[in-house]
């Protein structure tokens, strides 16, 4: 499929504030992007027409109850069948920060069961007790089936901006299952690439196994707390003022890998 024929749906609701940033990344890569309010998608019922779905960052519905909860329950209660088919057709779904929280609340990921009726994980308040907003180091899991991380460097830097990013699972059995399936896509690490091992501030929120992002079993759905759209170009990187290099930032490959996957598969 030619890249200009690829259609990406970026879903927004009241409180979403990163839809424009995500759209700009995909447009820069030549894809056709439609930023749709959730109510419009409900009226149209045409999710199947898109090749990829993105849930961007922000504070959907004010993050009342808890982060991503209302958005997640809306997805599960009004679009469950459509989203299930979308995922089963192996179309890519990307949830960034608040989008990750919504995907977890909707039961889309981890995906131990097909679009679970109840969340199988949670993104709890940061252990630090406050909002974390800064650049962090990340390490991609080369053994993961995640289609979004195929072209990532071994270590990278993305910014974070969240108050509820501590990824937790209900028990050791779930932790082991996630590890065995290699569904851990990205982890927090030190500058040298060694895992943070829970140490603050390198692991900014206390996530189990230093998890910054996970995928479903097939790798076509990923949620992550850091913001790759804020590291898309090199002039967005924190050391740009020193090196003045143009070109790709560390987050570029997240978006390009998604489009390459669609080009090859559809």
Phi-psi region of 258 (alpha: psi -120 to 50; beta: other; left: phi over 0): alpha
CB proximity list for 161: less than 8 A, separation 6 or greater: 57, 97, 131, 132, 133, 227
C-alpha 263/C-alpha 244 separation (Å) is 32
CB proximity list for 122: less than 8 A, separation 6 or greater: 104, 167, 168
Token readout for 209 is 């196994």
Percentages (nearest 5) of helix, strand, coil residues in the chain? 35, 25, 40
Helix (H, G, I), strand (E, B) or coil at 2: coil
For β-strands 132-140 and 211-215, DSSP reports them as unpaired
> In this structure, what are the phi and psi dihedrals at residue 219, rounded to the nearest 5 degrees?
85, 0
The continuous run of DSSP H or E covering 11 comes out as strand 7-12
Relative orientation angle of helices 19-28 and 252-265, to the nearest 10 degrees: 60
DSSP at 125: P
The set of catalytic residues is 97, 227, 229
Helix (H, G, I), strand (E, B) or coil at 232: coil
């Amino acid at each position: 499929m030619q890249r200009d024929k690829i259609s990406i749906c970026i879903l927004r609701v009241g409180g979403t504030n990163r839809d424009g940033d995500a759209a700009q990344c995909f447009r820069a890569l030549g894809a056709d992007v439609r930023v749709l309010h959730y109510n419009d998608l409900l009226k149209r019922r045409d999710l199947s027409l898109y090749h990829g779905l993105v849930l961007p960052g922000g504070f959907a519905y004010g993050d009342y109850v808890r982060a991503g909860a209302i958005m997640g329950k809306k997805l599960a209660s009004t679009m469950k069948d459509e989203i299930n088919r979308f995922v089963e057709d192996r179309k890519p779904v990307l949830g960034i920060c608040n989008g990750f929280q919504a995907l977890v609340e909707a039961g889309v990921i981890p995906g131990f069961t097909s679009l679970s009726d109840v969340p199988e994980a949670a993104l709890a308040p940061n252990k630090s007790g406050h909002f974390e907003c800064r650049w962090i180091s990340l390490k991609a899991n080369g053994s993961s089936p995640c289609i979004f991380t195929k072209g990532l460097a071994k270590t990278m830097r993305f910014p974070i901006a969240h108050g509820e990013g501590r990824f937790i699972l209900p028990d050791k059995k779930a932790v082991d299952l996630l590890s065995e399936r290699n569904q851990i896509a990205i982890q927090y690490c030190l500058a040298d690439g060694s895992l943070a091992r829970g140490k603050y501030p390198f692991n900014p929120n206390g996530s189990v196994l230093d998890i910054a992002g996970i995928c479903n079993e097939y790798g076509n759905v990923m949620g992550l707390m850091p913001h790759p759209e804020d590291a898309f170009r090199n002039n967005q990187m924190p050391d740009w003022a020193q090196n003045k290099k143009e070109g790709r930032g560390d987050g570029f490959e997240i978006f390009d890998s998604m489009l390459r996957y669609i080009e090859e598969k559809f």
